[in-house]
Amino acid sequence: MWRVSAAGVDRTHGWRVAALIAVIGFQLRSIIVGVSPVLPELRADLHLSFSATGALTAIPVLGLGAAAVPGALLVNRFGPRKVIGFATFGLGLAALLRLTPPLPYSLFVWTAVLALLIAAAQPAVAVSIRTWFPDRIQQTSTIYAMSLGLGALAGATLSVYLLPLGGWRGTFIVWAILALLGAAIWNWKAPGRGSLHESVPHGLGRLVRDPKVWHVAALFGGQSLVFYGGVTWIPFLLRGYSHAYLALVLFLFQAVSLPLTATLATTRRSWATSRWWYVGGGVFMSIGSIGFMVGLTGLAWIWAPLTGLGNSMVFAGTNSLPAILAHDPSDVAGYTALTLTAGYGFAFFGPLIWGLLLDHTGLITSPFWIISAAALVTTFLGVTLSPTGCPAAAGY
């Protein structure tokens, strides 16, 4: 078992602990995003409307926001290690239970449960990073963001090729098994097993009154709406194309995050607190989303990486900001939870409205009206961001 002191994890084993965090991050996205590429097959098999299909994306987003604050309370009460271990195991189990009768009702119920478990795990990861890597917060947060991107990339691109293993049901089983394996590795190797955790105050009331929290939350919400909009509706927008073209576009949408986050993980420059970083991300998202909105599907291979690059820039930054801006380590879980709650709450309404628009207009590009608007709003939020007085500046 690797030692943890007041200065964090021993540097000799730091990369191994960062790898453990990356394993967890992979599971927190692959199970959700892995659904989107097989939505057309799932919809046809279960005879769902477009509105109900959109709800399969909306429910996880709602759950990710709804359970973040309770998750922060659990982290402060039981410690991040236990919360992450329990939540990841439950995630894999809930992913399997989505396939139990009666379908499609169990699909919606257990999708909500797994989203709640992911929401509980995310504040715990932020606390683990601040506790175990106090002098490398931005770098380790970027490694975590990269693992989320890898999970999303794998879910978005591999699910199509997993269809021969048993249709859309077979893809669900594959991602669930991986989550159970990830939980086993975490419970076996994560630092702090058997150590006592002292309950800490959450300070949510004070954080609620901090406007900076809500600004970060709005940035996070804008990129979330663009991301989940893309992975949900690009498969429908490209329905007339081959599976290979769809897989390529979804791959490009996700893959651009990897070289970006890999580069960011090696730098200590404080890019996460730069307003121009978020402006640039918003501009890239806007260009790509508008390309989809006007129906230029033949150029989807251009719009996808542009949108994905901008999305990755904003996500990587907002993923780091709570741990950087929190004035005290005990505030990290609450700061992260409020950011996720408000951000995912904002993004929740997107999939529902997208489905309603598509059902009523019949225009396959109509969901991108809202997606493009969210990208433009994110650009404006970047211009007005002012993250001054960062307490954890030493953790860049």
Q: Each residue of 209-225: pLDDT tens digit?
A: 888 888 898 999 899 88
pLDDT of residue 39: 87
Please say whether the beta carbons of 255 and 393 come within 8 A.
Answer: no
pLDDT of residue 387: 63
pLDDT of residue 214: 87
pLDDT of residue 235: 84
pLDDT of residue 108: 92
Would the pTM of this model clear 0.85, i.e. be above it?
no
d(CA 289, CA 368): 6
Please say whether the beta carbons of 56 and 39 come within 8 A.
Answer: yes
User: Which residue, among 369, 389, 226, has the nearest Cα to 295 in the 3D structure?
Assistant: 369
- pLDDT beneath 70, residues of the chain: 1-13, 193-204, 351-352, 387-396
Quick one: CA dihedral 42, 43, 48, 54, positive or negative? positive
| Average pLDDT in the chain | 84
Which residues touch 295 (CB under 8 Å, ≥6 apart)? 365
Secondary structure of the chain in the HEC alphabet?
Answer: CCCEECCEECCCCHHHHHHHHHHHHHHHHHHHHCCHHHHHHHHHHHCCCHHHHHHHHHHHHHHHHHCHHHHHHHHHHHCHHHHHHHHHHHHHHHHHHCCCCCCCHHHHHHHHHHHHHHHHHHHHHHHHHHHHCCCCHHHHHHHHHHHHHHHHHHHHHHHHHHHHHCHHHHHHHHHHHHHHHHHHHHHHHCCCCCCCCCCCCCCHHHHHCCHHHHHHHHHHHHHHHHHHHHHHHHHHHCCCCCHHHHHHHHHHHHHCHHHHHHHHCCCCCCHHHCHHHHHHHHHHHHHHHHHHHCCCHHHHHHHHHHHHHHHHHHHHHHHHHHHHHCCCHHHHHHHHHHHHHHHHHHHHHHHHHHHHHHHHHCCCCCHHHHHHHHHHHHHHHHHCCCCCCCCCHHHC
pLDDT of residue 13: 64
Residue ranges and CATH numbers for the domains of the chain are: 9-391 (1.20.1250.20)
User: Which residue, among 238, 247, 243, has the nearest Cα to 298 in the 3D structure?
Assistant: 238
pLDDT of residue 290: 96
